[in-house]
Structure 1
Amino acid sequence: MALHVPPTPVNTSKAASSKVDYIVVQKQARLLSLWKDGRVLRTYSVMAMGENPVGHKVYEGDERTPEGQYYIDEKHVSQNFQKFLGISYPNQQDSLLAKRFGVSPGGQVGIHGDRGGMSGFFQRYDRNWTDGCLAIRNKDIEEVYSLVEVGTPILIKP
C-alpha cells in the first residue's frame, strides 16, 4: 500500500515563488518530485497511475503510464480532475514503437487531480484507476500547477 509523502520544501520562502527546472516521477515508489537548481523543491505522493502500471506505454488502451523523457506541453483547468498538466506523450520513439506494432500510441497523458477526492478511496485498496495519467491529490495539483510551466522537462522512471 502506498504511503502519502507530504510536500517537503527545501526553502519555504524561496520555493513558493520559484518555477521548477524539471520533474522526476518514480513509478514504483509512487513519487513525483519537482527540482530547482539541482535540488528537490517538493515531493508528492502519486495517488494513481494507469491500471496496468508496470512497463512502458506502447499503445492506446494498454492502461500504462509512459516511461522516458518528455516535457509539459499544456496546462488547463479540468472539470473532472481540477487541473491538468499535459505530458508530451507520444514522443518520436513512442510513435515509432507503436508504428512497428501497427497500433496507435494514444495520447492525452498528463498529471492531474484526484477525480473529486476518489483517489483516497482507491488508494486504501491500492488501486490504480487512470488510463495512463498520474493522479495526485487535488491540493497538490494546485501547487504543482503553480510551479510548473509549459516546456518543463519531465523524466518518468519505472
Structure 2
Amino acid sequence: MRTTGWVLLLAAGLASGLCSVAAQPSAPSDTTRTSASPRSPTPSPDVLEGRRGVFRSTPLFYVAGETATLHNRSGLNTPVTRLSMRTPVRRLSCEADWCRVRTDGGTTGYVAAEALSNMWIRVSKRERRIYVYRGAELVHAFQADMAYNSFADKKRNGGENRPDHWRTPEGTFYVVHKNPQSEFYKALVLNYPKVEDARRGLDAGLISRSQYEAIRQAQQEHRMPPMGTDLGGWIEIHGDGTGDATAWTQGCVAIRNAAMDVIWEQVRVGTPVLVE
C-alpha cells in the first residue's frame, strides 16, 4: 500500500536509538497549550494532498487500528472485501454507526464509523512544535522539546559516542504502537526505520540483508520494525517534556504530560505523522 504522502493526503533504545535523556532540564509545572499558533496556519490544499495540487471536497479518511470489513449495505452481514489498516478512503456520508466510503481503487461500500479516522500530526523541528489536525482543521498546537541535533535528518543510531546523530528522522510516518507505561509518561512509537531507511542503510553497509528483509516484512505487516539496528529506532512522541521547546532528547519529540493526555485518546495506531 502506498504510505508516502498519505499523511499529507488527509486534508487530508538507549544507546541503540532509544530516546533517553542525557541531563534532561527540569520541567516547569505542566500546562496544556491547545490554541492554534499564528505561526502555524492551516496547510494549503496542495500540501494536504501530497503536493499534487488536487483538493476535493470529499473528506479523506483512513482505516485506523485494525483491519475493517467493507460491506455493500450498512448494518447487514454483506461483506465485500477487507480493508487493511491505513487504507485511504473518501468518506461520502455517515448514518448512525456506518459510513459510506469509496476506496482509492473506486470500490464503494460501508464500513463501521469507528474504524475510520482523519486525525494526523505534523511535527515542525524548526519551530519546535507539534500540530494535531482533524482533516484540514488544526485542533491542537503544543510546544515540543526536540533532539540535540534538531536540524539534520536521521541517518543512523546515535549512541553515546555519536551525539551528532541524536536526530529526529524526517518524512512520513505513522503511530505503530501506543505505550501507556513509557519511561517518559506515555509514548506514541513511530514506524522508524522504514524500507527506504533500510535500503539506504543496506547500501551504506550499516545493516545486513537479513536486517533489511526484517524491516521490509514489518512494514508490509504494519508491525513495529526492528529497533536495534545501526539505523537506530524507538523514535517517539512522548511525555515528560518541559513545554519550553528545549533540545535534550536523543531523537524523540517530548511534550508536556498534560498535552499528551489531550491527544492520547484521539490518536490511534495508524495515525499519520509528518516530520519536517
TM over 0.5: yes
From the CA coordinates, give the structure whose radius of gyration is larger.
Answer: 2
Show the counterpart of 1:113: 239
C-alpha contact (below 8 Å) 1:5/1:45 kept by paired residues: no
Show the counterpart of 1:142: 261
Show the counterpart of 2:141: 43
Show the counterpart of 1:8: 35
Structure 1 alignment gaps of length 5 or more: 10-18
C-alpha contact (below 8 Å) 1:20/1:147 kept by paired residues: no
- State the TM-score, normalized to the length of structure 1: 0.78
Show the counterpart of 2:215: none
Return the structure number with greater relative CO, CA threshold 8 A, min gap 6.
1
Show the counterpart of 1:76: 179
Q: Give the RMSD, CA atoms, in angstroms.
A: 2.1
The one-letter code of the counterpart of 1:153 is: P
Alignment deviations for residues 52-107 of structure 1 (CA, whole Å, 9 cap, x no partner) = 11111110111000100000000012352110000111111111222222222111
Moved more, 92-101 or 25-34: 92-101
C-alpha contact (below 8 Å) 1:34/1:43 kept by paired residues: yes
- State the TM-score, normalized to the length of structure 2: 0.46
Aligned partners of 1:79 and 1:58: how far apart in 2?
25
Taking only the aligned residue pairs, the percentage that are identical comes to 31
Aligned partners of 1:79 and 1:69: how far apart in 2?
23
The one-letter code of the counterpart of 1:137 is: R
The one-letter code of the counterpart of 1:6 is: R
Q: For this pair of structures, how many residues does the alignment match?
A: 137
Structure 2 alignment gaps of length 5 or more: 1-30, 37-116, 159-164, 207-229
Q: Which has the higher helix share?
A: 1
Aligned partners of 1:50 and 1:102: how far apart in 2?
25
